[in-house]
Amino acid sequence: MAVSAKAFQSWRSLTAPRESTADLCRMAGIKRSTLAQQLVRGKVSETTVVRVARACDQNPVEALSFFEEYHDLLAGSGPPTDSELISQVTYVCVLQLLVARSLHPNPSPSDLPGLGPFPHRNSVRAWFEAVDPGDLRQRLSAKTGVAPQNLSAQLTAGRLAPELAVQAARIAGVSLTGGLVATGLLTPDECGWPLGGRERALAELSDPELVFLARDRLDTLGKMVKKLEHDEDSNSALLEQLG
């Protein structure tokens, strides 16, 4: 889903009333043809809204809240849970921290490895699983009409449509912007994620909890590798059949 072109034009007239379409596209780094096509189709992507908002020095969360599809985004924004923060740490960083703790039972900050940037390769799926109360896929499917297998396909591919990410957050009862950070649509700063929040959340894990976290991350990685191998074998078999 995207926002309606009519609503976008109304928002745009309020946000940048003196800018021509060409000027607005140049400021936002958007091709005029891209915006023109979206307007003709009657749907403007959330990415376009966010880029225009940034170009006009407007908070993207506030900008998206102008549209009916995201009317509660700003009001429903809040700090991420510790589980969400930890979901945005790669398995490599988790393993590095585990090793550092084993080498330094009482590590100082200088003994600990730095965390890599995020979103990372598995950010979307990790965030979804972090907020999942146990039946999130089923409830999200029932609410949006998107088949569970299609949701799974998006998560496996490391993506999730913005409206699905927000709806998932509504169902899970967490900040509505968390999934938009995980998908890369919005930045952590724009959504009020605390500086050093991931480090703090990890530091509060006990050694056993960190071990279990590493185990779960490696288990997820193993399943992804097996799926890739299965897909490659299937593709090879298909090519052989085709001759």
Domains of the chain: 3-70 (1.10.260.40), 82-219 (no CATH)
Judged against a pLDDT cut of 80, whether residue 238 lies above it is answered with no
Q: Cα separation of 68 and 212, whole Å? A: 41
| Tokens standing for residue 58 | 């407007």
pLDDT at 104: 81
CB 88 within 8 A of CB 119: yes
pLDDT at 241: 57
**11-43, pLDDT tens digit by residue?**
999 999 999 999 999 999 999 999 999 999 999
pLDDT at 103: 87
Mean of per-residue pLDDT scores for the chain: 91
First-residue to last-residue Cα distance in the chain:
40
pTM of full prediction above 0.85:
yes
**159-174, pLDDT tens digit by residue?**
999 999 999 999 999 9
